[in-house]
């Protein structure tokens, strides 16, 4: 029985296929300008459509509504939309109201827990950057949410007139400092400042969290800005772009085989 996994975020959609018990992460596309019909044709061009589509969706809009309609009617596939639960597969949700934990965070935590079955720090560097920690007993200890890279830069652009003017003037400049640290114009200073601020937040929380879990832990990084953050982080960070999809796999009844 073939299955399709969909991770619909704020700005991108990712997908993976499960066929003959084999999991295959395929890729990601930006949502801006993406037609639902074209997307579904690219995701599954074969005539025989998947029997089950498992989806995590962080927002609600016309694109998502049309996606639901097409899956149910054009494909006649069963659609399962995942919501955050109190516990699953040995992982315990740390929120007092489990459903209020973002489904993307929940699925990322599930994916990380299934991969390691030990204490783990999960960082999702997307529109917002989230940091969550699981202890060795599978208990989600909670997390932090801070603005992501683009949001940080936009805050300066909107809130500071002088900075905004310099950003326009330097629009053609390199987006990151050439020396990897200090900017030589306002555009580089803002870009580097946001990036290093996020890296410092992740490093500090990860270091402090080792005390909470009582020892070493795995560190996993996912999200669209993961590649930019990774070189600035010390220690052994694993970049896992399909972490949410690996969590969604829990809802198919399949174990991970790649």
Structure tokens at 87: 């516990």
The pLDDT score that the predictor gives to residue 168 is: 43
CATH of the domain at 180: 3.30.420.40
Tell whether 76 and 12 lie within a shared domain.
yes
Tell whether 125 and 205 lie within a shared domain.
yes
Per residue in 34-59, pLDDT (tens digit) is 999 999 999 999 999 999 999 999 98
| Percent of the residues in the chain that have a pLDDT greater than 70, as a whole number | 89
Cα gap 130→146, rounded to integer Å: 7
- The answer for residues whose C-beta is within 8 angstroms of residue 115's C-beta and 6 or more apart is 218, 220, 240, 246
- Whether 98 maps to a domain, the answer reads no
- Whether 23 maps to a domain, the answer reads yes
Tell whether 144 and 67 lie within a shared domain.
no
The pLDDT score that the predictor gives to residue 170 is: 46
Tell whether 230 and 142 lie within a shared domain.
yes
Which of 24, 57, 81 delimits the end of a domain? 81
Has residue 174 got a pLDDT over 50? no
Tell whether 42 and 117 lie within a shared domain.
no
Confidence of residue 100 (pLDDT cuts 50, 70, 90): very high
Q: The pTM is what?
A: 0.89
Q: Residues 234, 201: contact at Cβ < 8 Å?
A: no
Number of domains in the chain: 2
DSSP class of residue 253? T
What is the domain extent for residue 227?
A: 113-242
Catalytic residue (one of 7, 47, 104, 124):
104
Per residue in 211-250, pLDDT (tens digit) is 999 999 999 999 999 999 999 999 899 999 999 999 999 9
Tell whether 42 and 128 lie within a shared domain.
no
Confidence of residue 158 (pLDDT cuts 50, 70, 90): low
Has residue 15 got a pLDDT over 50? yes
Q: How far is CA 191 from the centre of its chain?
A: 21
Tell whether 70 and 119 lie within a shared domain.
no
Per residue in 104-145, pLDDT (tens digit) is 999 999 999 999 999 999 999 999 999 999 999 999 999 999
Query: Any catalytic annotation for residue 124?
Result: no
Confidence of residue 255 (pLDDT cuts 50, 70, 90): low
């Amino acid at each position: 029985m073939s299955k399709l996994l969909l991770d619909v975020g704020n700005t991108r959609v990712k997908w993976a296929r499960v066929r003959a018990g084999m999991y295959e992460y395929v890729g990601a596309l930006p949502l801006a300008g993406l037609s639902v019909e074209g997307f579904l044709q690219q995701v599954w061009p074969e005539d025989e459509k998947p029997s089950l589509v498992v989806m995590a969706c962080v927002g609600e809009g016309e694109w998502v509504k049309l996606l639901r309609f097409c899956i149910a009617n054009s494909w006649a596939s069963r659609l399962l939309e995942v919501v955050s639960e109190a516990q699953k597969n040995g992982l315990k949700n740390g929120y007092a109201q489990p459903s209020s934990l973002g489904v993307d965070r929940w699925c990322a935590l599930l994916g990380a827990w299934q991969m390691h079955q030990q204490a783990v720090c999960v960082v999702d560097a997307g529109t917002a950057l989230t940091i969550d920690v699981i202890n060795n007993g599978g208990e989600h200890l909670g997390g932090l949410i801070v603005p992501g890279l683009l949001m940080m830069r936009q805050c300066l652009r909107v809130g500071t007139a002088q900075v905004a003017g310099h950003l326009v003037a330097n629009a053609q400049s390199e987006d990151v400092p050439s020396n990897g640290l200090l900017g030589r114009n306002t555009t580089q200073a803002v870009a580097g400042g946001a990036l290093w601020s996020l890296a410092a937040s992740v490093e500090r929380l990860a270091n402090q969290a080792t005390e909470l879990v009582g020892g070493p832990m795995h560190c996993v990084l996912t999200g669209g800005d993961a590649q930019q953050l990774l070189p600035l982080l010390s220690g052994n960070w694993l970049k896992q772009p399909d972490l949410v999809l690996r969590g969604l796999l829990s809802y198919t009844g399949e174990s991970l085989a790649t």
